[in-house]
Amino acid sequence: MTDPEPTPRAPLPAPRRPAVLVGLIGAGIGASRTPAMHEAEAARLGLPLSYRLIDSDALPRGPADLATILRAAELCGFAGLNVTYPFKVEVLAHLDSLSEGARRVGAVNTVVLKAGRREGHNTDHSGFAAAFAAEMPDAPRDRVLLIGAGGAGGAVAQALVEAGVRELLIFDTAPGRAAALADRIVAQTPGARAAAAASVEGAAARGLDGVVNATPVGMAGLPGTPFPARLLDPRLWVADIVYLPLETRLLAEARAAGCRTMSGAGMAVFQAVDAFRLFTGACASPAQMRATFDAMGP
């Protein structure tokens, strides 16, 4: 008598890869397109990833300090965090190390949480640089006005001088901040020329090739324009890092004046591409992330 054939058993499912948990810290970030870009690209690559918003304006027990938010993220197992307004400079005091790019910029928008350490990076810098190279490769750059010397302004300033801007004028409503950024650019970039501008009007009177808005002015919650329409000239190119809305008042008026324009979409996409690599080790597709960004509306 032979033993009965064993009943075949279905193969065990392959163990699931642990989900990568990442997020964005900022104020008033409910409309951010960053979560969708990261999650759609992760799904396309077969990576389990969840992207959460940590809005300091919408926490159930009221605003929490940045140190508390970072510690809570670590305890919850976050692999990394993007950081946006108003925390890009404040976060520096809470990090263990900085990438060379973040050190040069003096601000951080991406934090990698790994083995109990917090590593700061700046993909705003690389993101604006990539967008500018793609959309403004032949734009004149003898003299450019940068409006805004905060965390994003520092990233854009460094990218502009590295892109060959010969003289960078920086205006900020806090004159000391503009002067400090100009001094840092000159000190750490051989051959760079940068100076604080006393006013937007004064800078325009000197003759400009381009204008970049690196302030929140123009966002849905902060309408307006940092550069008066009467100063626009068709020979100017105008860039805005704001992407909500994509067509800011500054860009609409610049386009009406015949200026070449660049929206904040490119920077938003390319910074996400670089942050995705830091969080997951995988290379994201800029084209696919841009498609996700565009699918969310104008």
Name the residues annotated as catalytic: 88
Q: Identify which of 119, 198, 132 has the alpha carbon closest to the alpha carbon of residue 159.
A: 132
**Closest CA relative to residue 87, chosen from 115, 118, 110, 61:** 110
Beta bridge partners of 212: 146, 239
How far apart, in whole angstroms, are the C-alpha atoms of residue 172 and residue 51? 33
The residues near 183 (Cβ < 8 Å, ≥ 6 apart) are none
**CA distances from residue 125 to 44, 208, 245, 274 in whole angstroms, order as listed:** 26, 22, 21, 10
Determine the Cα–Cα distance for residues 144 and 247; give it in Å rounded to an integer: 21
- Beta bridge partners, 110, equal 82, 121
Q: What's the DSSP call for residue 227?
A: S
DSSP helix/strand/coil, 51: strand
Rounded Cα distance between 158 and 188, Å, is 10
